[in-house]
């Protein structure tokens, strides 16, 4: 049995307590989130609204509009449209499909999408992983330091992948680590998706710069 001095024992117990508190906070947040979504979904089922919601969804072509009409949170409806419709077409044809896809799934899947570009659209692949010229770089860094745009907005506007943006910020000494980036918290929510986001469980190093060097350099 490991012998610890009294002060060491106290410190160990304090650390264990803090870890337990954090785990409880994480679980409570997840429970609250699931309870809210489940309540709305149960309401849809008990009122037998699924068919009516699908009909309205195909007419409007907009999940947010349909959800509002039936007093639902779009996030509560989104995962079940495929089950009701029998395929994903009912979602993918919506004008706000990607808005809610990103809210639920985040933008992590873009890693695979960028990899696929090398095979199907090499020109676009090269653009997204390029090192911009100095004039374009300066403009990107001015926008970044202003803090007026999210990191994803800046990457999208510049037509570079988000991993490339982090790489450029690092190489030009605007950040030391990923979580130093201006607007990192908002980026993190967009990366993992609002549904998966838990304010008590934020990873401050996603390895995005390493992903770029390992896969896209």
Would you give per-residue pLDDT tens digits along the chain (217 residues)? Answer: 455 666 777 776 676 677 777 677 777 777 777 776 666 666 655 556 778 888 898 899 999 999 888 888 887 788 777 777 665 566 788 888 888 888 888 898 888 888 888 778 888 889 999 999 999 999 999 999 999 999 999 999 999 999 999 999 999 999 999 999 999 999 999 999 887 787 777 888 899 999 888 887 6
Tell me how crowded residue 174 is: count the other CB atoms within 10 A of its CB.
15
Assess whether 139 and 73 both reside in one domain: no
Token pair 């304010």: residue: 199
Assess whether 76 and 114 both reside in one domain: no
Could you say which DSSP state residue 110 is in? H
* Domain boundary residue, one of 71, 105, 139: 105
Q: Given this model, what pLDDT does residue 73 score?
A: 81
Closest residue by Cα to residue 193 from 101, 123, 91, 111: 101
Q: Given this model, what pLDDT does residue 47 score?
A: 57
**What are the backbone dihedrals phi and psi of residue 206, each rounded to the nearest 5 degrees, phi first?**
-90, -5
Residues 98, 157: Cα–Cα separation, whole Å: 17
Looking at the structure of the chain, the number of domains it has is 2
pTM above threshold 0.85: no
Residues 39, 45: Cα–Cα separation, whole Å: 10
Residues 97, 104: Cα–Cα separation, whole Å: 11
1 found inside a domain: no
* C-alpha to C-alpha distances, 56 to 17, 41, 127, 185, nearest whole angstrom: 51, 17, 40, 36
Q: Given this model, what pLDDT does residue 40 score?
A: 61
Q: Given this model, what pLDDT does residue 177 score?
A: 92
Assess whether 81 and 120 both reside in one domain: no
Closest residue by Cα to residue 168 from 206, 114, 125, 213: 213
* Domain boundary residue, one of 72, 105, 138: 105
Residues 174, 180: Cα–Cα separation, whole Å: 9
Residues 209, 214: Cα–Cα separation, whole Å: 9
Domain encompassing residue 200:
110-215
Residues 161, 127: Cα–Cα separation, whole Å: 9
Residues 139, 154: Cα–Cα separation, whole Å: 10
For residue range 19-77, what is the model confidence (pLDDT) as tens digits? Answer: 777 677 777 777 777 776 666 666 655 556 778 888 898 899 999 999 888 888 887 78
* Domain boundary residue, one of 84, 105, 126: 105
Q: Given this model, what pLDDT does residue 3 score?
A: 59
């Amino acid at each position: 049995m490991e012998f610890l001095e009294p002060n060491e024992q106290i410190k160990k117990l304090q650390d264990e307590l803090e870890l337990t508190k954090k785990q409880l906070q994480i679980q409570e947040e997840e429970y609250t989130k699931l309870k809210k979504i489940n309540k709305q979904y149960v309401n849809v089922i008990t009122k037998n609204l699924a068919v009516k919601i699908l009909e309205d969804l195909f007419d409007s072509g907009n999940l947010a509009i349909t959800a509002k009409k039936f007093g639902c949170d779009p996030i509560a409806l989104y995962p079940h449209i495929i089950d009701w419709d029998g395929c994903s077409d009912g979602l993918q044809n919506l004008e706000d499909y990607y808005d809610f896809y990103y809210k639920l799934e985040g933008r992590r899947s873009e890693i695979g999408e960028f990899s696929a570009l090398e095979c199907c659209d090499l020109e676009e692949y090269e653009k997204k992983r390029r090192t911009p010229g100095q004039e374009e770089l300066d403009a990107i860094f001015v926008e970044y330091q202003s803090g007026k745009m999210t990191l994803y907005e800046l990457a999208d506007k510049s037509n570079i992948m988000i991993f490339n943006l982090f790489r450029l910020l690092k190489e030009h000494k605007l950040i030391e680590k990923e979580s130093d980036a201006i607007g990192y918290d908002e980026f993190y929510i967009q990366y993992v998706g609002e549904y998966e986001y838990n304010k008590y469980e934020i990873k401050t190093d996603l390895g995005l710069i390493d992903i770029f060097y390992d896969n896209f350099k």
